[in-house]
Structure 1
Amino acid sequence: MTNRYAVVLAAGKGTRMKSKLYKVLHPVMGRPMVQHVVDQLKKLQLENITTVVGFGAEMVQDQLGSDSKFVVQENQLGTGHAVMQAEEFLLNKTGTTIVVCGDTPLLTHETIEAMLNHHEMEEAKATILTVKAPDPTGYGRVIRNTKGDVEKIVEHKDANQSELEVDEINSGTYCFDNKLLFETLKKVSNNNSQGEYYLPDVIEILKQANEKVSAYQSPNFEETIGVNDRIALSQAEKIMKKRINENHMKNGVTIIDPDHTYIGPDVKIKPDAVIHPGSIINGATKIGSDTVIGPNTEINNCEIGSETVVKQSVANDSYIGDRVQIGPFAHIRPLASIGDDVKIGNFVEIKKAKIDQNSKVSHLSYIGDAEVGTGVNIGCGTITVNYDGTNKHLTRIEDDAFIGCNSNLIAPVTVGKGAYVAAGSTINKDVPNDALSIARARQTNKEDYVKKINHTNKDQ
């Protein structure tokens, strides 16, 4: 098999984005554009991937890490000049190099591989990825001869009337014979209005040398969209969202309203789960079968079991077991671990706490830095008072304990197995197993107090 290489062009600042964020780092469905591109390339059997960086180089390198090698284009002198920077990794190597832009997040590995196969089967020295555009206005037209080979690429402004009627356009992605690519780049001139070295000029030079230039036509225009401004970014987001949601639905997930459901590219959902509108699911989230998410729920980096319901709530960086009921309006903060058959009710906040199976925190409570055993009932308004102003402390509530409403558990403290805490108590000492702890002021009733107050006020 021919050796294959990739060069990702990611050096442009992207001034049309009007952003302090480097263009290729703008996210599409939660993942930076350039990461989408490199992730697709990684699915191919490539000898190496080289990313050409410039403005914001360190941020791109931090994002891609070991997924790519890097070269820096110090001066922005065009696409041809950018590819030249990869010479240190690719000079004199035999094989095929694909050049792809870092702002094309919708391009799939299937299309890239089909293009590579076409290029090698045709024994071409260069192959252009083309596509039929619904509206080709502004794009370079690909003009073929009667044999179907590429005769030339004509920019829109230079095209005559018959060429303007061609709807096959240049996508900006290319395959090249690697050795010939770098030999030819040395012949590219910057004699143009911008004073830049353009990669498409390689095509013209190869044609003049009677080398074979081919074209592979993608069946999907949307894949080839390059993101240069916020409008194109929103279009890419919409297309990627549709692609992700359709893949989940094909795999047996019910998405009630795909247009208003946002699922990140790394999310895994098992069949027969149901996702309601307004749900945002991101990160490395895993969702089990028969689980119901939403409506209006946000989940990030969580593992959620089967037959669980999470409605109108937020959950981050946590584990949630099977047959759990969460919400509405609950907040599961990072490092929570919620066991099977647990109920987390409305306006409950859980933070860095383990809630074991069959326990309930039904309403209006804060449980933070806590270990809660099995079969525990935590009443409305309960707070684990975990912070003393300097350090966080742990609250332990052991199996089958019952915490009455409006209780404050001042950590560090342990409520023993089977113990009861009376409603309205403030607990700052350990409660033994099976004990009843009452920690509140004795009630005193002042008879006719209100009448006396009212009478005094009248006299004044």
Structure 2
Amino acid sequence: MVPFITAVVLAAGKGTRMKSDKAKVLHEVFFKPMVHHVLDSIQQITVQQSIVIVGHQQERVASSLKEYEYIPVTQQEQLGTGHAVLCTETACTNAEQVMILCGDTPLVRPEMLQALLEQHLDTDATLTLLTTSLDNPFGYGRIVKDALHNVVEIVEQKDATPEQQKICEINAGIYVVKKDFLFSALHQVGTDNSQGEVYLTDIVSIAVNSGHKVHNFSHPEAIDVLGVNSRVELALAHQELQKRCNHEFMLTGITMLSPDTTLIAPTCSIGGDCILYPGIQLTGKTSLGRGCIVNTGAVLHDCTVADSAVIGAHAVLENCSIDQNERIPPLVHRVG
């Protein structure tokens, strides 16, 4: 029998390193707020319920999530990740297992989350944490293991000794935990750390010290768990999602002469044998028929382009319908 699984998304933080008046999870990555990407992945796995923890600018965050089915839980004071999850105790009443994710990780793949979930259930672990390795792990919680390579604890950057800071395996901030243990442990977590906060990561050492089984799910692709904490990481996340989207389009029979400079929204459709030159942008509900050519630097938004049409270099088209075999000259600016 499949257990009742609840996904909890942490989305209450301000994100001071973004240097912005906007809540961090509302910053757009590849055409949508980053928290939407997280919820999109959750919708594709075997989770029965989703909870989003809101706090900073909670009205704006909730307004952006109108298309999603979820339970909002408010963290009134920003007292740490452990405190945030503790706020969901009542909402998690029916859960048997709880998956915890951060709303600022827009690159999480549903395949990875499903594999994590299945491995957690197969091993009958009390707690499974997702880890990865970085050449430069600065800023991330380090995974401390014993001589038998069993996880002992997670040590945050500010609390790590010089020796612990050399550890390259880091906490990705994604967990699956048996519900009863989760909240029992969180009630035990104190605030004796450099931040004076309730660390969610402390449940790992509590599990180890009380003899519970802790499983380490190691994911080799660090980019998939990138946390967006700055405008630099925002750009990296956008580039990665653009790369993934373009890869899928090319597999359907589309030629891109410079995928790295080609921006196509996932809401667009493109017929086979199209040729896309460098530096183009296709956004909105733009659709291209078969055999179209879009030349360098063209920008199309909400356009319908019939088969074998040719769009000239640096043309800018919005809400236009282009006929079959029609040729749009370069440098045209047209609004339909």
TM-score of the alignment, normalized to the shorter chain, above 0.5:
yes
Contact 1:260 1:277 in 2 (8 A): yes
Structure 1 residue 212, shift from structure 2 partner: 0.9
Contact 1:30 1:282 in 2 (8 A): no
Counterpart of 1:212?
Answer: 213
Computing the radius of gyration from Cα coordinates, the structure with the larger value is 1
For structure 1, the residue ranges without an aligned partner over 5 or more in a row are 334-350, 352-460
Counterpart of 1:78?
Answer: 80
Structure 1: which amino acid aligns with 2:266? P
1:193-225 Cα distance to aligned partner (Å, 9 max, x none): 433211111212222211111111112011111
Counterpart of 2:142?
Answer: 141
Structure 2: which amino acid aligns with 1:84? L
Counterpart of 1:329?
Answer: 331
Structure 1: which amino acid aligns with 2:82? G
Structure 1: which amino acid aligns with 2:46? Q
Contact 2:132 2:170 in 1 (8 A): yes
1:106-150 Cα distance to aligned partner (Å, 9 max, x none): 111111111111111111111111012122233222133455432
Q: Matches of 2:303 and 2:51 in 1, distance apart?
A: 33
- Pair 1:18–1:308, CA change in 2 (3 A): same
Counterpart of 1:200?
Answer: 201
Counterpart of 1:176?
Answer: 177
- Pair 1:178–1:57, CA change in 2 (3 A): same
Q: Superposition pairs for residues 268-279 of structure 1, below 5 Å?
A: 268-279=269-280
Structure 1 residue 174, shift from structure 2 partner: 1.2
Q: Matches of 2:257 and 2:311 in 1, distance apart?
A: 15
Contact 2:131 2:171 in 1 (8 A): yes
- Pair 1:245–1:192, CA change in 2 (3 A): same
Contact 2:159 2:194 in 1 (8 A): no
Q: Superposition pairs for residues 370-389 of structure 1, below 5 Å?
A: none
What SS does the aligned partner of 1:121 have? helix
- Pair 1:321–1:64, CA change in 2 (3 A): farther
- Pair 1:140–1:306, CA change in 2 (3 A): same
Contact 1:103 1:226 in 2 (8 A): yes
Q: Superposition pairs for residues 3-402 of structure 1, below 5 Å?
A: 3-67=4-68, 68-91=70-93, 93-145=94-146, 148-156=149-157, 158-159=159-160, 163-311=164-312, 312-333=314-335, 351=336
Structure 2: which amino acid aligns with 1:70? P
Q: Matches of 2:219 and 2:251 in 1, distance apart?
A: 23
- Pair 1:2–1:318, CA change in 2 (3 A): farther
What SS does the aligned partner of 1:49 have? strand
Q: Matches of 1:119 and 1:49 in 2, distance apart?
A: 18
Structure 1 residue 318, shift from structure 2 partner: 4.6
What SS does the aligned partner of 1:88 have? coil
- Pair 1:324–1:181, CA change in 2 (3 A): farther
Q: TM-score, normalised by structure 1?
A: 0.68
- Report the number of matched residues: 333
Contact 1:29 1:262 in 2 (8 A): no
Contact 1:126 1:177 in 2 (8 A): yes
Q: TM-score, normalised by structure 2?
A: 0.91
Structure 1 residue 158, shift from structure 2 partner: 4.8
Structure 2: which amino acid aligns with 1:96? Q
RMSD between aligned residues? 2.1
Identity of aligned residues (%): 36
Structure 1 residue 319, shift from structure 2 partner: 4.2
Structure 1 residue 61, shift from structure 2 partner: 1.6
